[in-house]
Amino acid sequence: MFSSVAHLARANPFNAPHLQLVHDGLTGHRSSPAAPPGPPRRSRNLAAAAVEEQYSCDYGSGRFFILCGLGGIISCGTTHTALVPLDLVKCRMQVDPQKYKGIFNGFSVTLKEDGVRGLAKGWAPTFIGYSMQGLCKFGFYEVFKVLYSNMLGEENAYLWRTSLYLASSASAEFFADIALAPMEAAKVRIQTQPGYANTLRDAAPKMYKEEGLKAFYKGVAPLWMRQIPYTMMKFACFERTVEALYKFVVPKPRSECTKAEQLVVTFVAGYIAGVFCAIVSHPADSVVSVLNKEKGSSASQVLQRLGFKGVWKGLFARIIMIGTLTALQWFIYDSVKVYFRLPRPPPPEMPESLKKKLGLTQ
């Protein structure tokens, strides 16, 4: 499967280094006669620089997708685990707003009741669950982006690129949430039910004994409600923000930026995307937190009981958490690509054929 995807990826409009070489006429450069000396063309020099950079694999190859999945594991597993204390307080605010009245009050009450160690409750299911989610989220996103873009064709993939990002991320998150659901259910039980269990080793057998496999997957539908809109916003907003930053803010082309400068742009775009992600997904997140705590409740029952005001409890904490989380995830994911020398295509450019149709070239 990966070999066929790799073949399609070479014509992908997001494989911009390849397109840039074709557009500049470098593919036939060796056989053409020597041109008279003159001032060097800037675009030709930039394309030559792309040739000089040696990648460890081809864009869209099996190795590319596997290493992207590894980047997802590292970025999601580490960041979610690092933010377990904030996530714990946020969940308790959603489940028991009378007791945990705000983010600072929530930390204070938790420290008094459970001590410093109590803030780390649920770290194991968080690390395992979100590592698996990251593998599917980022790995499958790259796969679906290549597949869908080639289904659309070069010109339509460029024109409909926002829809392409949305469809690719939604498809990836569908599978990512199936991988996440069991660990998310265990994490919420540990964090929000005092005395239920302190570790994953204690929680998982107890949950299975009480409700069977349903205990681990009854929250998958609300997870889709929360995570699919979140991920669609996360990827589409990030991709378009990066494009806008290089076009309107960064004072030089991406190809002239150092790797460190490119990673700064990645972090800024990730934080902007994270703020929107938090707002879009928060109501469903509130439902998931309450649903995984209670036995026998349905998502519609929880939603009706919480009401409009109740589903927005803990939003400020979630904005801080998700904004930081998303920025760090994109930064780590892009850093992994740099470390393994994976192709990192710049924002897509309008294909030459489309420019001709629109009368933008002579």
Which pLDDT value is given to residue 1?
52
| pLDDT tens track, the chain, 362 positions | 545 555 555 555 555 443 433 333 333 333 444 444 544 444 333 343 444 468 999 999 999 999 999 999 999 999 999 989 988 887 888 778 888 888 889 899 989 988 998 889 999 999 999 999 999 999 999 999 999 999 999 999 999 999 999 999 999 999 999 999 999 999 989 988 888 898 999 999 999 999 898 899 988 988 898 889 889 999 999 999 999 999 999 999 898 999 999 999 999 999 999 999 888 888 887 887 777 666 667 778 888 888 878 888 888 888 888 888 899 999 999 999 999 999 998 888 888 888 888 888 76
Q: Which are the contacts of 13, defined by CB distance < 8 A and separation ≥ 6? A: 19, 149, 154, 157, 158, 161, 348, 351
DSSP category for residue 298? -
Which pLDDT value is given to residue 174?
97
Which pLDDT value is given to residue 14?
56
Residue type, 313: K
How far is the C-alpha of 307 from the C-alpha of 305, rounded, in Å? 6
CA neighbours closer than 13 Å in the CB half-sphere of residue 16: 12
CA neighbours closer than 13 Å in the CB half-sphere of residue 121: 28
Q: What are phi and psi of 11, to 5 degrees?
A: -100, 5
Look at residues 344, 351, 263 and name the one whose alpha carbon lies nearest to residue 50.
344
Which pLDDT value is given to residue 3?
52
E strands, the chain, are: none
State how far the alpha carbon of 225 is from the alpha carbons of 3, 159, 185, 220, in Å: 33, 28, 15, 9
How far is the C-alpha of 148 from the C-alpha of 164, rounded, in Å? 7
Q: Which two structure tokens, joined as six digits, stand for 117?
A: 């160690």
Which pLDDT value is given to residue 65?
97
What's the pTM value of the predicted model, to 2 decimals?
Answer: 0.77
How far is the C-alpha of 188 from the C-alpha of 184, rounded, in Å? 6
Angle at 193 between CA 188 and CA 194, to 5 degrees: 130
Residue type, 287: V
Which pLDDT value is given to residue 13?
56
CA neighbours closer than 13 Å in the CB half-sphere of residue 155: 7
CA neighbours closer than 13 Å in the CB half-sphere of residue 83: 23
How far is the C-alpha of 287 from the C-alpha of 93, rounded, in Å? 12
The sign one gets for the Cα dihedral 122, 127, 128, 132 is positive
Which pLDDT value is given to residue 117?
87
Q: Which are the contacts of 291, defined by CB distance < 8 A and separation ≥ 6? A: 218, 219, 222, 297, 298, 299, 302
How far is the C-alpha of 134 from the C-alpha of 64, rounded, in Å? 15
Contact (Cβ atoms closer than 8 angstroms) between residue 120 and residue 89: no
